[in-house]
Amino acid sequence: MKILLPADVIRQGVERLAREITVAYQGEPLTVVGVLTGSMVLLADLIRQIELPMQVGLVQARSYRGNATLPGALTINAQMLPDLRGRNVLLVDDIFDTGRTLFELLTQFDELNPASIRTAVLLRKQGRSEVEFDPHFVGFDIPDEFVVGYGLDFNDHYRNLPYVAALEPHELAPESRP
């Protein structure tokens, strides 16, 4: 595994994101919605540093299943969402890869009549977007590699790593999977 972003670099990036978000909302109350499960670590670190009145919700959206390395059909479970009507909503996800997950979530959230919707991601993969949309707040741009750590997983492993690492091709091979 090749470390792309050490823990101290991620910490600094999350602090920067929190400052940018705090300034953008200028003291307005905020509803922060984390996309499960990948955003859990980012969400926890980010909300402790955003200096705004807020409520927090969760939505489950999955396009990767098991040991897949390519996204499949998106499934969404919004049962843990607070009422978004009239609220400023910040949708937080771990990675902007093809962009399909965030784009679909934005489309569905828009139907819930929020005052505004913006997005924040820890990582944006270069050269992979399949949508005409870019996240509002981005922690880091990374190369097109399969990454794990800081909430991101491969076959439900590696989420607990304090850094972001790219798995090598041999680590993605079926015989080496955890």
Which uninterrupted H or E stretch holds 8? helix 7-25
Is position 92 within any domain?
yes
122: tokens are 């820890």
pLDDT of residue 46: 98
pLDDT of residue 73: 63
Q: How many domains, the chain? A: 1
Is position 107 within any domain?
yes
Is position 59 within any domain?
yes
Is position 157 within any domain?
no
Is position 121 within any domain?
yes
User: What is the dihedral sign for C-alpha 76, 81, 83, 84?
Assistant: negative
Is position 87 within any domain?
yes
Domain containing residue 97: CATH number: 3.40.50.2020
Is position 74 within any domain?
yes
Look at the pTM and tell me if it is higher than 0.95: no
Indicate whether 68 pLDDT > 70.
no
- Quote the distance between the C-alpha of residue 124 and its chain's center: 9
Is position 178 within any domain?
no
Per the prediction, the chain carries an average pLDDT of 89
Active site residues: 97
Range(s) of the domain holding residue 96: 8-21+30-143
Please enumerate, as own/partner, the contacts of 115-118 that have beta carbons within 8 Å and a separation of 24 or more: 115/86, 115/87, 115/88, 115/89, 116/88, 116/89, 117/89, 117/90, 117/91, 118/24, 118/88, 118/89, 118/90, 118/91
